[in-house]
Amino acid sequence: MPITVPQLLQRKSDGRPIVALTAWDYALAEVLDQTDVDVVLVGDSLGMVALGHPTTLPVTLEDMIHHARAVRRGITQALTVCDLPFLSYQESPAQALHSAGRILKETGVQAVKLEGGHPWLVETVARLVEAGIPVMGHLGLTPQSLHQLGGFRQQGQTEEAAGRIAQQALALEQAGVFALVLEHIPAELSRKITNSLEIPTIGIGAGPHCDGQILVTYDLLGWGRRRPPFARAYADLRGQITAAVQQYSQDVRQGLFAPDSP
Ligand code: KIV
């Protein structure tokens, strides 16, 4: 049985850190499922790591549904959450309900995530929660607002910006989000927010004080050409894939591959 939303909430009071990672297809999800990862996020970062877009902005609701269905087929243990992509929820609460409803109905994931904390968005979150849809929030560096933020840069550096993020975190909690991703903000700010909330915070580039951590699995595996300064690679998959392909290529060219069939 997959971890439930109430069980995830319990992790905070138990003081047991939440382990979260992203996935974008069945092959990766099925491997993550063999581990003890608590949350698998079908993040819209898949637009960059799996689809080759320069940002997450071009990702569509159909893209997310397609990938979330594949991921969900590989997961039996973790709570699976799917991102609402850019402009699939910002128009109105009705649009958000329609998009989130489609994701839950068509993919089998248990929850959705959306970015930002403006008052109108907080209202949208409340509507989704009233409809029985678990929502994860996301504050700090919110990549769907990349052009407004001026790049993938740390947020909450001034007192005013930090205060705004802390206030939005409280408003999102009151609206009913069950967890909050804090991306690329100062560690002291995420500590303050984590201590002020009853729901768990899940950090990415937000220091050690959050109730859990998330990474884009591509970065953790050392698969990409570049990775954000805050992401740690625990493997060098890019190096290993390159070496394996080069060895295969050499073997084929030297007539060493394809021995007689058994
Ligand atoms: O899209 C994504 O992968 C995310 C994580 C970075 C939290 O939102």
- Per residue in 36-49, pLDDT (tens digit) is 999 999 999 999 99
Number of domains in the chain: 1
Question: E strands within 30-142?
Answer: 39-42, 79-83, 111-113, 135-140
- Cα-based distances in Å from 69 to 23, 35, 66, 108, 219: 11, 20, 6, 7, 22
Residue 206 CA to ligand 1 centre (angstroms) = 13
Q: Ligand 1 pocket, 181 CB below 6 A?
A: yes
In a domain, 253, yes or no: no
CATH code of the domain in which 128 resides:
3.20.20.60
- Cα-based distances in Å from 88 to 8, 62, 103, 149: 26, 10, 11, 20
Q: pLDDT tens digit string along 137-187?
A: 999 999 999 999 999 999 999 999 999 999 999 999 999 999 999 999 999
In a domain, 260, yes or no: no
Q: Ligand 1 pocket, 216 CB below 6 A?
A: yes
> What is the pLDDT, as a whole number, of residue 101?
98
Percent of the chain with pLDDT over 90: 95
Residue 259 has pLDDT above 70, yes or no: no
In a domain, 243, yes or no: no
Alpha carbon 106 to its chain's center: 19
In a domain, 261, yes or no: no
In a domain, 262, yes or no: no
Residue 19 CA to ligand 1 centre (angstroms) = 14
> What is the pLDDT, as a whole number, of residue 260?
67
Cα(89)–Cα(99) distance, rounded to whole angstroms? 7
Please tell me which residue, 224 or 97, carries the higher pLDDT value: 97
Q: Ligand 1 pocket, 204 CB below 6 A?
A: yes
Q: Ligand 1 pocket, 114 CB below 6 A?
A: no
Ligand 1, atom 4: nearest CA belongs to which residue?
43
Q: Report the SS3 class of residue 199.
A: coil
Examine the residue annotation and report whether 160 is marked as an active-site residue of this protein: no
Regarding pTM above 0.85, the answer is yes
Write out the residue range of the structural domain in which residue 129 sits: 5-237
Q: Which member of 30, 123, 183, 188 is catalytic?
A: 183
With the most atoms of ligand 1 within 8 angstroms of its CB, the residue from 88, 214, 217 to mutate is 214
In a domain, 12, yes or no: yes
In a domain, 245, yes or no: no
Residue 190 CA to ligand 1 centre (angstroms) = 17
Q: Which residues of 136-173 are buried (b: 16+ CB within 10 A; e: fewer)?
A: bbbbbbbbbebeebeeeebbbeeeebbebbbebbebbb
In a domain, 256, yes or no: no
Q: Ligand 1 pocket, 32 CB below 6 A?
A: no
Q: Report the SS3 class of residue 81.
A: strand
Residue 90 has pLDDT above 90, yes or no: yes
Q: pLDDT tens digit string along 213-236?
A: 999 999 999 998 889 999 999 999
pLDDT band at 262 (very low <50, low <70, confident <90, very high): low
Residue 43 CA to ligand 1 centre (angstroms) = 5
Percent of the chain with pLDDT over 70: 98
Residue 129 has pLDDT above 70, yes or no: yes
